[in-house]
Amino acid sequence: MSHLPTIDNLALRSRFLHAVRDYFYRHGFLEVETPVVIPAPAPEEYIESIGAETGFLRTSPELAMKELVCAGAEKIFQIGSAFRAEERGRKHREEFTILEYYAVGWDYRELADFTAKMFASAAITATGRAPLTYQGNTIDLSYVEYVTVDEAFQKYAGVSAFAADADGSFDERMVTKVEPNLGRHGLTFLMDYPAARASLSRLSKRDPRVAERWEIYASGIELGNAFGELTDANEQKQRFDAALQFRAEQGMKPYPEATDFLEALRKGMPECSGCALGVDRLVMLLADAYSIDEVRI
């Protein structure tokens, strides 16, 4: 362990986690812990898992937490490590901490509103001040804006998000043109991803070209991802199969089918929304840390 964070940053992290837990408890959430070693990760195109002797280290607690929702849990949250192979950089570590939560009956926009308030509240409790200064920029967490992915692409990349998705330039444009402009003064919710990027979210009833999915940004940094959860087991299985086929075609590591999760989904999942936040990045913002190494051992 060559670069230990300062004790001050670890203390800030501790105060923040304390405040986060407090907020969730006050809002009626149950804290849960699900296994770190899992039989099958969610088959996603670009997320690489790390193998464990008896399965895989979880890339996120998503499938297990959704099984709990299927089993009757209404509002749950979890804080713990997740693992993704080959991700290393100022905003990435192969082991990182996720704050993940689900609320039955909440629309994905209600979840966005809750998320902004939760983060702002815990940030003030942990730091004792507002607004924040991150790498020279003032970030007011009470300032919240909503922009659709397509609006952001039109505005910052000069093309529609659908065209960028179709010609394969979506990720490059997102990273080089769009993201640097998000959350410049506060929190930005990037809403409604093109349907091809729905992942585990359901398609919008208002506009089936997009999915009920958002990502939250501050100071150009992606902090988390949320879905209006897909509850249709058949559609979910089709998407998983397509992702597994994509992985096979690309010569990527094969994943076993997530049978427990699909079985739970078949029995029925209530309408719900869920979000996963990168705790290390949240603390980076509070600590004005350039690199994740400054806030995580």
Partner 1 sequence: MFSASDLKKGLKIEIDGAPWVITEFEFCKPGKGTALYRCRMKNMITGIGMEKTYRPTDKIDEPNIEERELDYSYFDGHNYVFSDATTFEEVVVAPDKLGDRAYFLLENSTCNFVIFNGEPIEITLPTFIEKEIVETEPGARGNTATNVMKPAKLDNGFEIQVPLFINQGDIVKIDTRTGAYAERVSKA
Task: Report the interface residues with partner 1, using CB under 8 A.
Answer: 44-47, 86-92, 170-172, 174-176, 179, 197, 199, 215, 222, 225
- Smallest distance, partner 1 to C-beta of residue 225, A: 5
CB-wise, 94 or 257, nearer to partner 1? Answer: 94
By DSSP bridging, strand 30-31 and strand 75-83 are: parallel
Least distance (Å) between residue 16 CB and partner 1 = 22
Taking the least distance from each CB to partner 1, the nearer of 23 and 227 is 227
Minimum gap (Å) between residue 277 Cβ and partner 1: 12
Pick the closer one to partner 1 by CB: 79 or 152. Answer: 152
Residue 229 has φ and ψ, to the nearest 5°, of: -70, 140
Dist. CA 84–CA 256, nearest whole Å: 17
Phi, psi angle pair for 190, to nearest 5° = -95, 110
Closest CA to 150 of 196, 201, 91: 196
Instruction: Supply the minimum distance, in Å, between the C-beta of residue 193 and partner 1.
Output: 8
Euclidean distance between CA atoms 108 and 190, whole angstroms? 12
Residue 92 Cβ vs partner 1, minimum distance, rounded to whole Å: 6
Rounded CA separation 32/165 (Å): 36
Given the complex with partner 1, which of 19 and 275 has the nearer CB atom?
A: 275
For partner 1, the closer of residues 30 and 175 by Cβ is 175
Q: How far apart are CA 128 and CA 126, in angstroms?
A: 6
